[in-house]
Structure 1
Amino acid sequence: MPTDISPAGASSPGLSFRDAQFEPRQSTSRFIADALRSAIVEGSLLPGEPLRQDAIARQFSVSAIPVREAFRQLESEGWVTIEPNRGAAVSLQSADEAREIYEIRASLESLAIGIALEHHTPETLADAQRLLEAAENEPDPALYVVRNEQFHMSLYAPADRPRLMEMIGQMHRRGERYLRLKLGLPIHKDASDAEHRAILAALAARDIQQAQTLVARHLLATGELIHRFLADAQALAQTTHTKKKRRASSRTTSRQAKQ
């Protein structure tokens, strides 16, 4: 399903109900939220970019009500920031948030794999293997994010803990755009795929301690990697901003001296 959400004021009509497959059972607000989330993950909507309620309502040919509901849903998931008198905007990426998401995932997913381990069957392990291979062979970063989540969830599904699975799913969704940063360099994807294989091997060997250790280590390392990447980028941006201010101040001082 395409997710080309045009920025406010753009001439392109972007995604609408007319050119997307819409399931009748899916609420309008959920459909819009999913489309906006995909646009953020794929980079069509950038961090800090305003989300104009009226423009999005026109784009989807709906009233403002489902758009507001979609904004509230995305705000609860951390994708959107809503400020009084300023409206909604795509949330800025945060190094600390990224690390915390993966710390939470490490705790939840090591618990889930420990519960699931004794309930796995040859069939469920074969399914996990199939999903692992699908992720390894997926060249599209956007689709890899989906395959990655499918593989991880297949490791925990036999635990039969719906509320735990729901919490893990929420953390996966909150971490989607951060995971895309890790996939920028192929070496990180290769390392992640190798870690997935080791986790599945421990699961197949019924080694609960090893499976839990590997899952936690895999997720914590990802969180630290993304935290460093974002922290370095933020420090560089701050340094660049400071240098520009100094140059501007110097030019102003020089002009005043000449006067």
Structure 2
Amino acid sequence: MSEATSGFPLHDGKQASLLPEAAVPRASTSHVIADALRAAIVEGTLAPGAPLRQDAIARHFSVSAIPVREALRQLESEGWARVEMHKGATVAPLSAAEAREIYEIRSALESLAIGLAIPLHTAASLRECERLCKMAEQEPDSTLYAARNRAFHMSLYTPAGRPQLEELMATLHRRGERYLRLKLGLPNYKGESDQEHIALLDAVRRHDIAQAQSLVVSHLLGTGDLLYRFITARVEADAAQPKTRRPRTSRKPT
């Protein structure tokens, strides 16, 4: 093992380390920009298809083009943005197939997670789940509700102690947030979702693994199916709308 650090003077007692002193980790500029753009997409401030112009974003954040490019690459890898050669970046369109697939994958992962977590829940962890469930139920703001909804779901799975599984689920929650906002606009959705949360929490309290898994799968697949039908119907309705043509301007003879 000594050969592995030969010629790399970390600290030998005689010479000071050439590495900088450790500092408190800070979010990089590109991550800050990516977070801000992601939030704007989720909230609908940046609509599907809206251009993400590097120069405008750089001016807004008073940065160079480099962190902006890094932020856009990050958003593209997460599915929030679409980058095309010679056309630049745009907000990724809403996709019925993507919405359904996100919730299909979530149903599989969260069924696994809740099965692992239930035997490890304590009275304290269940009180936290109940608190978060009530906060989501009482939240009228759709943006805040998405965060409350995510916090409640994740509280059900935390006792499992599976950090990689939690990371995958958290990523899918973020990917699904702008689709969830669509569903929040549908009649009766929030009341139905709140009741499903209450039933799910009750099954967890009773340590009924089979029932909890059945409820979480039904809850998520139902959401995915509803979003698929809603987005598909909207796309079909938009396609059926007559397209307006721009009037031709007559050119004066020269």
Q: Same fold (TM over 0.5)?
A: yes
Q: Deviations over 1:37-95 (max 9, x none)?
A: 11011111000011000110110011111111111111111110011111110000000
Q: Deviations over 1:180-236 (max 9, x none)?
A: 011003510110010001010000000000000000000000000111110000001
- Segments of 4+ moved more than 6 angstroms: none
Alpha-carbon distance between aligned partners in 2 of 1:186 and 1:163, rounded to the nearest angstrom: 36
Structure that is richer in helix per residue: 1
For structure 2, list consecutive stretches of 5 or more residues without a partner in the other structure.
1-23, 249-254
Paired position in structure 1 for 2:109: 108
Paired position in structure 2 for 1:229: 230
Alpha-carbon distance between aligned partners in 1 of 2:109 and 2:177, rounded to the nearest angstrom: 17
Alpha-carbon distance between aligned partners in 2 of 1:65 and 1:189, rounded to the nearest angstrom: 41
1:177 maps to amino acid: R
| Identity score, percent | 61
Structure 2-normalised TM-score? 0.85
Paired position in structure 1 for 2:151: 150
Paired position in structure 2 for 1:42: 43
User: Which secondary structure does the structure 2 equivalent of 1:138 belong to?
Assistant: coil
**In the alignment, structure 1 residue 98 sits paired with structure 2 residue 99:** yes
For structure 1, list consecutive stretches of 5 or more residues without a partner in the other structure.
1-22, 253-259
User: Which secondary structure does the structure 1 equivalent of 2:27 belong to?
Assistant: coil
User: Which residues of 2 match residues 174-213 of structure 1 at below 5 A?
Assistant: 174-213=175-214
2:137 maps to amino acid: E
Alpha-carbon distance between aligned partners in 2 of 1:59 and 1:244, rounded to the nearest angstrom: 34
2:40 maps to amino acid: A
User: Which secondary structure does the structure 1 equivalent of 2:49 belong to?
Assistant: coil
**In the alignment, structure 1 residue 88 sits paired with structure 2 residue 89:** yes
2:225 maps to amino acid: E
Alpha-carbon distance between aligned partners in 1 of 2:196 and 2:45, rounded to the nearest angstrom: 30
**In the alignment, structure 1 residue 168 sits paired with structure 2 residue 186:** no
1:25 maps to amino acid: R
Structure 1-normalised TM-score? 0.84
Q: In the comparison of the two structures, how many residue pairs are matched? A: 224
1:36 maps to amino acid: L
Alpha-carbon distance between aligned partners in 1 of 2:232 and 2:239, rounded to the nearest angstrom: 10
- Greater mean alpha carbon deviation, residues 69-78 or residues 153-162: 69-78
The RMSD of aligned alpha carbons is 1.6
* Structure 1 residue 244 displacement after superposition: 3.6
Alpha-carbon distance between aligned partners in 2 of 1:167 and 1:73, rounded to the nearest angstrom: 16
Paired position in structure 2 for 1:131: 132
Alpha-carbon distance between aligned partners in 1 of 2:187 and 2:207, rounded to the nearest angstrom: 31
Q: Which has the larger radius of gyration?
A: 2
* Structure 1 residue 24 displacement after superposition: 6.9
Alpha-carbon distance between aligned partners in 1 of 2:87 and 2:25, rounded to the nearest angstrom: 33
Alpha-carbon distance between aligned partners in 2 of 1:76 and 1:152, rounded to the nearest angstrom: 25
Alpha-carbon distance between aligned partners in 1 of 2:26 and 2:243, rounded to the nearest angstrom: 52
Alpha-carbon distance between aligned partners in 1 of 2:25 and 2:40, rounded to the nearest angstrom: 22
